[in-house]
Amino acid sequence: MRHFPIFLDLRDRPVLLLGAGEALEAKAALLASAGARPRHAARFTPGLLEGIALACAAGAPEEDLRALSEACRARGIPVNVVDRPELCGFITPAIVDRDPITIAIGSGGAAPVLARMIRQRIEALLSPGLGRVAALAGRFQAALRARLPDLAARRRFLDGVLTGTPAALAEAGREAEAEAAFHAALAAAEVAPPGMVHLVGAGPGAADLLTLRALRLLGEADVVVHDRLVAPEVLAMARRDARRIDVGKAVGHHSIPQPEINALLIRLAREGLRVVRLKGGDPFVFGRGGEEKEALEAAGVACAVVPGITAALACAAGAGLPLTHRDCARSLLLLTGHTREGRLEVDFASLTRPGQTIAVYMGLATMPALFEGFVAAGGSPSWPAALVEAGGTARQRVLRGPFSEVVRQARGWITEGPALLILGEACARTAA
């Protein structure tokens, strides 16, 4: 972030407005609506800053604008000079007002027109009665803390009530009925609701490839237990104050053994927390989601699975490769390249069957052994292949060619991973 978003309480506090013109008048009206007491001046003198909480300027001589900016910065007073970002200590965002809910949209001064366009879209999405919903929750703050002293329990209760009947009544202006419905819901609320684990697929890394359900759960989670391959952009979708626990595994290094991860998920859920176990791709495709689900169920912990876009789908789509095609690929095989006790457990004869596409996960280290076994079983060294690095993200790269050539170049070509190997005639269907 170039600017830190913050909401200032300016009620009954003096603010300086230096200069003249429509732009400054607009600032004055905005500040007055927040309860500030504007002081106007045409020219700048240092004495104007005594007791000032904030300063805005427009339409004043250049030397006054610069002097104001320098003096405010020296005294730690927030200052805004209209259309002069280099002289600003803060910028005024586009605002959506649903008092007491306020939404501010900023562009860092780079594109204020775009910020206003975004504001218009948000205005159209939000009910005019949203502020009444917030005010309803505010009136019950003390009762809510007394009834539900546990923070996680309060959050879970509010997640339900602020999207349920009390909120709908408040939004419609039926405030007495809304209060009665809120009070009834609070009286019936569980003081210590049970925890739950959601095994959530994070997809290939791009935040906009998350499912809507995954996005909602990230916003509700008390704690996010995530793998190494989960992109920072996806983690940023989680609630800001949610705990984040990295249990990621890298090749040859397991930071936390799987049984310990299982135990961690069970413990967190038993504390009454809403846990999102976030996995790259899909939890049930080489993600050990099955093992975790079995452990949770054996411990009596409620769990649910939210699928994600698995690497084969993301890599193929990004590279323009059809995984199935009526002319050459009527089946799809998902294969792990991981070894078990040092052995690559693969039915090589099955790999040589015509009319299929094979997607090999985590196969970079064992690719030479995979190639040797494939050729020994009768497969052609010139079989079309594609190695996709960082598939489904902006960093995606693709190495295409005969299987033998892809194997030869792979080690020197890969930069950071992860990588997925795709084999089959479908790899030759496009030159993209």
3-class secondary-structure state, position 271: coil
Please state whether beta strands 249-250 and 94-98 pair in parallel, antiparallel, or not at all (unpaired): unpaired
Strands of the 397-402 sheet, one edge to the other: 331-336, 356-361, 419-423, 384-389, 397-402
* Per-position DSSP letters for 383-420, written without gaps between them: -EEEEEESTTSTT-EEEEEEHHHHHHHHHHH-SS--EE
Distance, CA of 400 to CA of 37 (rounded, Å): 67
249 is catalytic: yes
CB within 8 A of 99, min separation 6: which ones?
Answer: 131
279 is catalytic: no
CA angle 42, 47, 51 (to 5 degrees): 105
3-class secondary-structure state, position 355: coil
Q: Which burial class, exposed, middle or buried, applies to 28 when counting CB atoms under 10 A from its CB (0-12, 13-18, 19+)?
A: middle
Residues in the chain: 432
Distance, CA of 301 to CA of 295 (rounded, Å): 9
3-class secondary-structure state, position 101: strand
Cis peptide before 418 (omega within 30 of 0): yes
| 130-139 and 175-187 helices, crossing angle to 10° | 50
Query: Which of the following is catalytic: 222, 227, 282, 293?
Result: 227
Contact 213, 237 (CB under 8 A): no
- Residues labelled as active-site residues: 227, 249
